[in-house]
Structure 1
Amino acid sequence: MKTIQLNSRPVGVPKLSDFKFVTEQQVQITDGEMLLKATHISVDPYLRGRMMEGKSYIEPFELNKAITSGMIAEVTESKLAGFSKGDFVSGMLEWKEVQVSKGEGLVKIDAKKAPLSSYLGVLGMTGLTAYFGLLEIGKPKAGETVVVSGAAGAVGSIVGQIAKIMGCRVVGIAGSDEKVEQLVSEFGFDAAINYNTAGSMAEAIAEACPDGVDVYFDNVGGEISDGVMMNLNRFARISVCGAISMYNATSVPMGPRVQPFLIKNSVLMQGFIIFNYVERWGEATPQLAKWLQEGKLKSTETIVEGFENTPQAFIDLFEGKNKGKMIVEV
């Protein structure tokens, strides 16, 4: 069976040479174990942080060890109570074609109720991140203006749709005219900005948000977020989900200091990780599923075929080659 390991810690944008493929002997399962065959692998920007050494909210990946992420797998053999051959499971697993598991942290999913890939997207960590980050920190109210950066990405596209469900005016920021068009025509955003052609972000946001910004869902940081800061309303809320514009920086970037903006407008700015809300996941998933079934939520995915293409799919995230959730179909 093939495994993808971290070969070296990336400097700047990750390269294929930072990963390596290792062939391992397939082991036999014993009582209390099951054999899993990978079907879908989630590649996410946050994995870049785990490739670096240093203290964070989660342990860094070890060199010469398998990388882990959210995955879907099929049970091909089981000696574990509660799991049978043919079941599908979702959870954090190693980048291996086949692996042994004791079922820890895994949940069974129903392939008949929704496509398997959706359990990594709108019905998985992606949807949960959008749900709690927007509703618990952003606390959008009907009639308010919500701005989403990285809006055509996996989390951002769902955030914008939930904000519309809440009755808000929603403005998305993305990196191409095609994505801007998709945000408006497919996801129902009220307006969208192409940051690659907009010129001054502060002016572009001011034009798209004539009544200012009440809620900002930040997936990117950097100059885009600097522009949003210039347009915040009094008592605005900023939910900091990601900072992909800085993940590959080799030095600490400098930008406007945020404190004056926060003080002047009494702004709340809070970072979060989805595991902060793990005890409440059970309340969010049914609501997301209901919105999906009602057609109020749409899920867009970029599917890359082949286990061997997993590292390249991850690298492609930093070039904006994904629309919605990036998933490798094994």
Structure 2
Amino acid sequence: MAKGEEVSNKQVLLKDYVVGFPKETDMVLNTGTISLKAPEGLEAVVVKNLYLSCDPYMRLCMKEQDRTSFLPSFAPGSVLTGHTVAKVVDSNHPNFKEGDLVWGINGWEEFSLITMTNFLHKIEHTDVPLSYYIGILGMPGLTAYACFHELCSPKKGENVFISAASGAVGQLVGQFAKLMGCYVVGSAGSKEKVDLLKNMFEFDEAFNYKEENDLDAALRRYFPEGIDIYFENVGGKMLDAVLLNMKTNGRIAVCGMISQYNFEKPEGVHNLFCLISKQIRMEGFLVGNYLHLYPKFHDFIIPFIKEGKISYVEDTVEGLDKAPGALIGLFSGRNVGKQVVVVGRE
């Protein structure tokens, strides 16, 4: 492809604001065109997208802005955006050149013109899988690292519970907790995921929450002395049961509440008085407040990856046309590990 050439560009657009459980038909595949030449006079780059990340927070961007929103909504008819890995095709920016591999926030499309390059980072370590930069080395990895270490203040020997534990973030939190010498239990939604938690990620215990009629009883079974740290990814009934099983002065880090994202009226939580009676600290987490920790995080995690001391599982689909289904699958637990869409190859 010549630099100045205009080429077809497949894209995934949001059809309209979503109410209730999202469907593949809420997204539209579109074919536009794009010039592979960066515009003169702008510090811009044109990239070929290689990998897209499917993340639960994107569901929150698919609804009309309201008082609970902390992210801007996708406009109906616009290209979805998310975390990507890409290759620079052309550049007018001094920090990027043709052929550079980059990661950051970008459109769900084959090619992109990027003018807000403050969201773009050059990939320095190419001896690990490139897709890791939207997973273990990207936003999910930093979320696990910063939320667990900064909010939870873990100590050796403490009891840690992680919901949605086989997902992009949970699988890492469990391994970080094991490195700290904690007792770790995770919940997931299938036997395959439970086996993964115990065998690959070396959790001490794991259970299938779909097979438990009484979540309070399940947690008492795995934590007879109570929970010191709860890493919250689910919300609703799971949070309610956890509150009853927290230790005095326990910590709850609220990273996500995926069970509630598709409800017009979220489920109520009934055991909040435990926050008072047990003096529990419960705190919400936004990864955007911790972006300055990326260099420290990479220095910490990359040696573990190269030495095989941290495992990471990806669930990969091929082709931009598979992206809507892959995103929707997050909310039924269809994915096993980090959901990745392969758009192109180097």
Shift of 1:211: 1.9
Aligned to 2:24: 16
Aligned to 2:53: 42
| 8 Å CA contact 1:165, 1:296 repeated in 2 | no
Q: Distance in 2 between matches of 1:111 and 1:152?
A: 25
What does 1:269-288 align with in structure 2 at a 5 Å threshold? 269-288=282-301
Shift of 1:282: 2.0
| 8 Å CA contact 2:61, 2:73 repeated in 1 | yes
| 8 Å CA contact 1:217, 1:241 repeated in 2 | yes
Aligned to 1:81: 94
Aligned to 2:111: 98
What does 1:140-219 align with in structure 2 at a 5 Å threshold? 140-219=154-233
The question of 1:66 aligning with 2:75 is answered: no
Q: Distance in 2 between matches of 1:293 and 1:20?
A: 39
The one-letter code sitting in structure 1 at the alignment partner of 2:18 is P
Q: Distance in 1 between matches of 2:267 and 2:241?
A: 16
The one-letter code sitting in structure 2 at the alignment partner of 1:47 is M
The question of 1:315 aligning with 2:328 is answered: yes
Aligned with 1:24: secondary structure?
Answer: strand
Q: Distance in 2 between matches of 1:62 and 1:301?
A: 29
The one-letter code sitting in structure 1 at the alignment partner of 2:63 is M
| 8 Å CA contact 1:220, 1:242 repeated in 2 | yes
| 8 Å CA contact 1:221, 1:245 repeated in 2 | yes
Shift of 1:34: 2.2
| 8 Å CA contact 2:316, 2:341 repeated in 1 | yes
Aligned to 1:7: 15
The one-letter code sitting in structure 1 at the alignment partner of 2:178 is K
The one-letter code sitting in structure 2 at the alignment partner of 1:262 is L
Shift of 1:191: 0.3
Shift of 1:59: 1.1
The one-letter code sitting in structure 2 at the alignment partner of 1:26 is I
The one-letter code sitting in structure 1 at the alignment partner of 2:227 is V
| 8 Å CA contact 1:161, 1:296 repeated in 2 | no
Shift of 1:264: 0.9
Shift of 1:47: 0.5
Aligned to 1:228: 242
Aligned to 2:38: 29
What does 1:229-308 align with in structure 2 at a 5 Å threshold? 229-258=243-272, 260-308=273-321
Q: Distance in 1 between matches of 2:143 and 2:262?
A: 22
Q: Distance in 1 between matches of 2:304 and 2:245?
A: 31
Aligned with 1:30: secondary structure?
Answer: coil
Aligned to 1:119: 133
Spell out, residue by residue over 1:225-280, the C-alpha distance to the aligned partner (whole angstroms, 9 max, x if none): 2111111001000000000001001323223141x111111100001110111222
Aligned to 2:146: 132
The one-letter code sitting in structure 2 at the alignment partner of 1:122 is I
CA RMSD of aligned residues (A): 1.3
Q: Distance in 2 between matches of 1:148 and 1:198?
A: 16
Shift of 1:111: 5.9
Q: Which moved more, 1:107-116 or 1:188-197?
A: 107-116
Identity rate of aligned residues, in percent?
A: 39
| 8 Å CA contact 1:239, 1:269 repeated in 2 | yes
Aligned residues: 329
Q: Distance in 1 between matches of 2:324 and 2:152?
A: 33
The one-letter code sitting in structure 1 at the alignment partner of 2:39 is T
Aligned with 1:38: secondary structure?
Answer: strand
Q: Which moved more, 1:100-109 or 1:314-323?
A: 100-109
| 8 Å CA contact 1:88, 1:111 repeated in 2 | no
Shift of 1:281: 2.3
Q: Distance in 2 between matches of 1:43 and 1:112?
A: 22
TM-score (normalised: structure 2): 0.92
Q: Which moved more, 1:83-92 or 1:181-190?
A: 83-92
Q: For structure 2, which runs of at least 5 residues remain unmatched after alignment?
A: 1-8
Shift of 1:143: 0.6
Q: For structure 1, which runs of at least 5 residues remain unmatched after alignment?
A: none
